[in-house]
Amino acid sequence: MIERYSVPELTAIWSDEHKFQTWLRVEIAVAEAWGDEGVIPAEDVTAITSTATVNVPDVMRYIDETHHDVTAFLRSVADSLGDESRWVHYGLTSNDVWDTATCLQWLDAIDFLTVQVAELRDVVIRRALEHRKTVCIGRTHGVHAEPTTFGLKLLVWVDELRRHQQRLALAREHLAVGQMSGPVGTHASVPPSVEANACARLGLAVAPVTTQIIQRDRHAFVLSVIAGIGASLEKFATEIRALQRTEIREAEEPFTEGLQTGSSSMPHKRNPELCERVCGLARTLRGYSIVGLENVALWHERDISHSGADRIAFPDSTGLLAYMLKIFTGVMDGLRVYPERMQANLEQTRGLVFSAKVLNALLAAGLQREVAYKIVQANAMKAWHDDLDYRSLLEADPEVTSRLSMQQLDELFDVNAYLVHIDDSFRRLGLLEANP
């Protein structure tokens, strides 16, 4: 990941240092399992577990000679041991170590991302509760529809993030596996008992059936989950970008006045640059999900066409998502909300947004839908084109007043009528106490 978008915790997880140390964890776990079988002498197991180390610069130098990561790694480990080094990697093939260790790295990455998603959800919950009664106009097709609240907008995001937490947990379950099944997965060189023992030491389940690799549908799934979280972040950020438009200006991402600049030429600009950044990076995450799907199909029991793509897609996708979650959590924490602008925008169409209530009232008063719709729409279009007050037009229409009283119209044009059930949605998510 380029430094601009890097998060130190994710960079560390996928670093060469951590990767090779994780490979060594796997090798030691297998050596201990062989020791339990009585194959490796106890004193050699002790020497391996207490003495074996890996030197990353040496591994890199050896790779230049061997053109093989695992043999270079094994050579470095052997440098730290004596004759007992012959037991390191005993019975294994490269991907027994590589894929099992990669799953361990994935678990670290998923755990970090899970915490980040939870932190973002907590912030959005706080802002949703803060604005659960802050009335604003709801929009469909970008056009004013009916009143809603800003809190309800955010509550939708809260529930969406909850679903992503569940998907991350499922992806973690799919990747919490290891394999030590040897070449082509037959266990001809490593019995299942050694595999089970070693995986248990690593805190992993055994992949029930493998070839020479852990199957890539598991990795494709987690990459799709990551892309899905990115898509939701893009959705949230797009809403803020739209609300920050000059013509709307109902909400705005944080802006440090006196220090931050929005344009090199126009000092008045306050651009939603963080949200725009989130939207752009989400496109990249979707690309990595395609890479994951492309990596599922390999030749026979294994090839390495997936390998180079894995090396890029795994660290970059998790690192990018961590960065996006970090900056968007900051956006939501410091989001500026302008209720007065929301009220002004709500009143902009001079009552047109209450047309559905009027339609339903006329239907309840006995009119057929087609007739009632034409009455309501005709007045609405007149108000729209001539910039007139919709309520006044209805009061002057005998087809309306012959069926609806002034008190009924008062009730129909009361915005509070739209808020009656807002809290029910919050209760469904457990954010408000149930009605007594």
Active site residues: 141, 263
Phi, psi of 137 (to 5 degrees): -85, 135
Calculate the CA 317 to chain-centre distance: 11
The answer to whether 58 and 76 have CB atoms below 8 angstroms apart is yes
Q: Which residues have a Cβ under 8 Å from the Cβ of 403 and sit 6 or more positions away? A: 362, 365, 366, 367
Kind of pairing, strands 135-140 and 143-149?
Answer: antiparallel
- How many residues appear in the chain? 436
Backbone angles phi, psi at 389, to 5 degrees: -80, 125
Question: Which of 385, 418, 383, 412 shows the shortest CA–CA distance to 397?
Answer: 383
Q: Reduced to 3 states, what is the DSSP secondary structure of residue 389?
A: coil
- Residue 339 has, within 13 A of its CA and on its CB side, a CA count of 8
The SS3 call for residue 143 is: strand
Distance CA(302)–CA(19), nearest Å, equals: 21
Place of tokens 């989950």: 225
User: Given the structure tokens 């998907």, which residue do they identify?
Assistant: 167
Burial of 166 (0-12, 13-18, 19+ CB in 10 A): exposed
Identify which of 293, 249, 292, 288 has the alpha carbon closest to the alpha carbon of residue 272.
249
Q: In the structure encoding, which two tokens stand for residue 282, read together? A: 């989400």
Residue 359: HSE in the Cβ half-sphere, 13 Å Cα cutoff: 15
Report the C-alpha gap between 410 and 381 in whole angstroms.
21
Q: Could you tell me which of 297, 299, 288, 251 has the C-alpha nearest to residue 272?
A: 251
Only one residue has tokens 């987690």, namely 222
DSSP secondary-structure letter at 38? T
**Integer Cα distance of 292 and 8 in angstroms:** 24
3-state secondary structure of 146: strand
Question: Are the beta carbons of 155 and 135 closer than 8 angstroms?
Answer: no
71 and 65 in contact (C-beta within 8 Å)?
Answer: no
